[in-house]
């Protein structure tokens, strides 16, 4: 094997090895970050609920209020329900998002929970269309961004595929109104007349596969070294 070819092979192999090890280290760092995030979420969701005003105050100073339990009193405007496509227990349906107006005149968008497709029409679950003053407890959740494979929302047909806070507010005639709270509240499971919508839909079991990914990258790095050594030894013996 010519010296020039050996040098080129060594340089390319070293670059690939550095890249594989770097990816493995990055996944280890991601693992520690994800474990910390999961621990923080677990701590938050089991904390005592705070008031809506406290949650707003934290959000205004830049604090992440996601997954904080919040309790709020107010009245639903059921005429402005919006429907977010979802799958629960492998069944297609919709999350019912309803504006709730507090006694202070603020509006917060409540994700009341899941209804199967057959119960999307409010008339089919009229018992759950609460019109009196209610107390809602749930987890604060920030507005979403449209994912790469998420369809566009269809406001005219009241079919939503991601929670665009601004567009939802606009469709409810709250566009530009400062009294709209800048986050959602996902209602916890509770006794709703008729059983629908079914709250408690927040997913907190975040996937954590970073250890497997790290092992994969380190294993590939090890294989690269083994293949390099075997190949070089074979070429040198063939001289």
d(Cα 208, Cα 137) in Å, to the nearest integer? Answer: 28
Q: Cis omega (within 30 of 0) on the bond before 197?
A: yes
End-to-end alpha-carbon separation of the chain, Å?
A: 7
Question: Is the predicted pLDDT of residue 218 greater than 90, yes or no?
Answer: yes
Question: Is the predicted pLDDT of residue 16 greater than 90, yes or no?
Answer: yes
Q: What confidence tens digit (pLDDT) does each residue in 19-69 have?
A: 999 999 999 999 999 998 888 888 898 899 999 999 999 999 989 999 999
The model's pTM: 0.80
Q: What confidence tens digit (pLDDT) does each residue in 152-210 have?
A: 999 999 999 999 999 999 998 766 666 789 999 999 999 999 999 999 998 877 788 99
If pLDDT is split at 50, 70 and 90, which confidence band does 119 have? very high
CA 132 to chain centre: 31
Burial class of 76 by CB neighbour count within 10 A (0 to 12, 13 to 18, 19+): buried
| CA-closest candidate to residue 137, choices 13, 45, 205, 30 | 45
Domain range summary for the chain, segments of one domain joined by +? 3-40+208-237, 68-195
Q: What angle do CA 191, 105, 171 make, to 5 degrees?
A: 80
Helix (H, G, I), strand (E, B) or coil at 142: coil
pLDDT at 219: 96
Which pairing describes strands 107-116 and 134-141: parallel, antiparallel, or unpaired? unpaired
CB 59 within 8 A of CB 182: yes
């Amino acid at each position: 094997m010519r010296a020039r070819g050996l040098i080129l092979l060594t340089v390319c192999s070293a670059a690939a090895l550095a890249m594989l090890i770097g990816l493995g280290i990055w996944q280890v760092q991601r693992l520690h970050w994800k474990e910390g995030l999961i621990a923080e979420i677990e701590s938050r969701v089991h904390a005592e609920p705070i008031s809506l005003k406290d949650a707003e105050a934290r959000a205004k100073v830049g604090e992440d209020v996601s997954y904080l339990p919040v309790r709020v009193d107010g009245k639903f405007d059921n005429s402005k329900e919006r429907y977010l496509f979802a799958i629960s227990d492998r069944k297609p349906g919709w999350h019912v998002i309803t504006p709730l107006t507090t006694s202070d005149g603020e509006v917060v968008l409540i994700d009341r929970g899941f209804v199967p497709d057959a119960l999307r029409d409010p008339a089919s679950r009229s018992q759950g269309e609460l019109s009196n003053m209610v107390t809602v407890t749930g987890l604060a959740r920030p507005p979403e961004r449209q994912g790469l494979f998420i369809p566009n929302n269809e406001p005219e047909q009241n079919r939503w595929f991601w929670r665009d806070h601004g567009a939802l507010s606009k469709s409810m005639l709250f566009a530009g109104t400062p009294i709209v709270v800048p986050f959602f509240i996902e209602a916890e499971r509770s006794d709703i007349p008729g059983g629908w919508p079914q709250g408690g839909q927040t997913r907190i079991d975040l996937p954590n596969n970073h250890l497997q990914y790290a092992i994969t990258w380190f294993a590939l790095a090890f294989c690269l070294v083994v293949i390099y050594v075997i190949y070089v030894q074979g070429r040198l013996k063939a001289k």
